[in-house]
Amino acid sequence: MSRTRISNSRDALIQSRGVAAEELRRHNLGTVVERLHLTGPTSRSDLVAGTGLNRSTIGDLIAELTDLGLVEESPGRATTGPGRPSPVVRTRPPGAVVLAIELSVDSVAVATVGLGGHIYNQLRVARPRGHFSPEETVQDVAKLAEPLLAALPTTHVLAGVGVAVVGVVRRSDGFVHLAPNLGWRDVPLGAMVGDGLRLTDRVLVANEADLGALAEHRRGAGTGVNHLIYISGEAGIGAGLIVDGKPMLGSAGYAGEAGHTVINPEGHRCRCGAVGCWEAEAGEAALARHAGIVASGTGLDIIDTVVARAKAGNGRTLDALAEIGRWLGIGIGNLINVFNPELVVLGGSYQVLFPYLESAVVEGTRLQALDAPGQLAKITSSDLGPNAPLIGAAELALSGVIADPAGTAGHSVREGHAVDDRAGG
């Protein structure tokens, strides 16, 4: 027995329960769907090699998934090797379509996304800050979603709804305890979205940064990276964590509120009530303060102004970016020491500002990160840009299909969704 073999590589499989045959089959169905969903069309041979399952098991699983309408197969191309070419399997996007919703501080967005990550349609609408109740917001979202859902053929299967929101979310039922930058407290958002869209079930809500992390991990800068921190800047700072290849949610889904870790007790008061939180020192308000910009309308205006002035070489703006970047880096150093990630991805407004922040961020990080974890952690900007949380919301909703492919079948768009009913009522 070698040292590495007895390390914790099998921990993920070591549960307190055994695995019975039916559960094994569901797991294996999910494994095949997940693989195709994430890596695209794959030959049967590559599925055999990649999953470790034998050829006949793979054949059975593909047959079941084909019956479920989730995958389809086409003859493989002739290759130079001997024998028949291996058929190519791919996901069938209409077999599981989800509605993704993002509620952020400066905008609201919706998208229809099919299995495999196929985006049918998406819409984003900017909104001024702080003027919208949860009720108004859900109504707005329902109106935005209506044409997207109506555009889907009725043979498409609506498999769920995923919602990204800038707040502290209880995962079990999508209850938003606090969204300080929306001015919301104790909002049963999951139930409200279900009612507003006349879908009482299958609505999953999560924090925006958590979903940004999921999206970057599955389809962005963090593909193949098992330990990732996604830092989202909008009005505040949120963090989404991928630990051992899986989202780290905490006991109720509240994990990742790194914006509210104290980093400077002599600093500014934070919207959460504490003093010197990371977001109070490195967030948008601090940037505007240092740069001498008076907030007008949305944070997008602030970021646009900063970028324009930085491009023009404005000294005060560049100094402000250096100051913010240093604090941002110190906080990243803190997280590197705690999480030992491979990658830190800066998203939201930090993605836009990254060219101007990068050197100060690296400097701040070096001040705080210990050598060993610091040398392993690469810092980069988001690949997916402002849509990362929206894509993450789609991935969240699709994760239900992956967890139990056979449980999704039988809900056509017409059955599952009520746009048509509404038109008739």
3-state DSSP: the chain helix, strand, coil percent, rounded to 5?
45, 20, 35
Residue 266's CB: how many other CB atoms inside 10 A?
6
H helices, E strands: number in the chain: 15, 16
DSSP-derived secondary structure letter, 397: H
CB 222, min distance to its own copies, A: 12
Which of 121, 314, 359, 368 touches its own copies (CB under 8 A)?
368
Q: How far apart are CA 98 and CA 90, in angstroms?
A: 18
Choose between 297 and 407: whose C-beta lies nearer to its own copies: 407
What binding mask, one character per residue, do residues 84-113 give for its own copies by CB under 8 A, x or -?
------------------------------
Choose between 201 and 294: whose C-beta lies nearer to its own copies: 201
Q: What residue has token string 């210990």?
A: 370
Residue 23's CB: how many other CB atoms inside 10 A?
11
# of chain residues touching its own copies (CB under 8 A): 101
Q: How far apart are CA 159 and CA 407, in angstroms?
A: 10
What binding mask, one character per residue, do residues 127-166 give for its own copies by CB under 8 A, x or -?
---------------------------------x------
Residue 241's CB: how many other CB atoms inside 10 A?
24
Residue 201's CB: how many other CB atoms inside 10 A?
9
CB 18, min distance to its own copies, A: 4
Q: What is the DSSP string of 307-356?
A: HHHHHTT-HHHHHHHHHHHHHHHHHHHHHHHHH--SEEEEEEHHHHHHHH
- Interface with its own copies, residue 257, by CB under 8 A: yes
CB 125, min distance to its own copies, A: 27
CB 50, min distance to its own copies, A: 7
Strand 246-247 versus strand 343-348 pairing type? unpaired
Residues 290-319 that bind its own copies (CB under 8 A): none
CA dihedral angle for residue 245, residue 249, residue 250, residue 254, rounded to 10 degrees: 160
Helix axes 349-368, 299-311, angle to 10 degrees: 70
CB 90, min distance to its own copies, A: 17
Listed ranges 77-85, 266-274, 310-318, 386-394: which one lies at the site for its own copies (CB under 8 A): 266-274
- Interface with its own copies, residue 380, by CB under 8 A: no
CB 255, min distance to its own copies, A: 4
**Measured CA distances, 64 to 33, 43, 140, 166 (Å):** 11, 17, 39, 39
Residues 386-425 that bind its own copies (CB under 8 A): 399-400, 402-404, 407-408
- Interface with its own copies, residue 27, by CB under 8 A: yes
Structure tokens of 314?
A: 């404005």
CB 267, min distance to its own copies, A: 9
Residues 48-77 that bind its own copies (CB under 8 A): 50-54, 57
Contact (CB, 8 A) for 136 and 144: no
- Interface with its own copies, residue 264, by CB under 8 A: yes
Structure tokens of 12?
A: 């993920």
Residues 165-224 that bind its own copies (CB under 8 A): 168, 170-174, 177-178, 190, 201-204
- Interface with its own copies, residue 2, by CB under 8 A: yes
CB 201, min distance to its own copies, A: 7
Listed ranges 252-260, 297-305, 355-363, 382-390: which one lies at the site for its own copies (CB under 8 A): 252-260
Q: How far apart are CA 379 and CA 362, in angstroms?
A: 8
What binding mask, one character per residue, do residues 340-359 give for its own copies by CB under 8 A, x or -?
xxx-----------------
- Interface with its own copies, residue 260, by CB under 8 A: yes
Listed ranges 23-31, 287-295, 309-317, 354-362: which one lies at the site for its own copies (CB under 8 A): 23-31
Choose between 12 and 63: whose C-beta lies nearer to its own copies: 12
Q: How far apart are CA 401 and CA 36, in angstroms?
A: 12
CB 365, min distance to its own copies, A: 11
Choose between 249 and 390: whose C-beta lies nearer to its own copies: 249
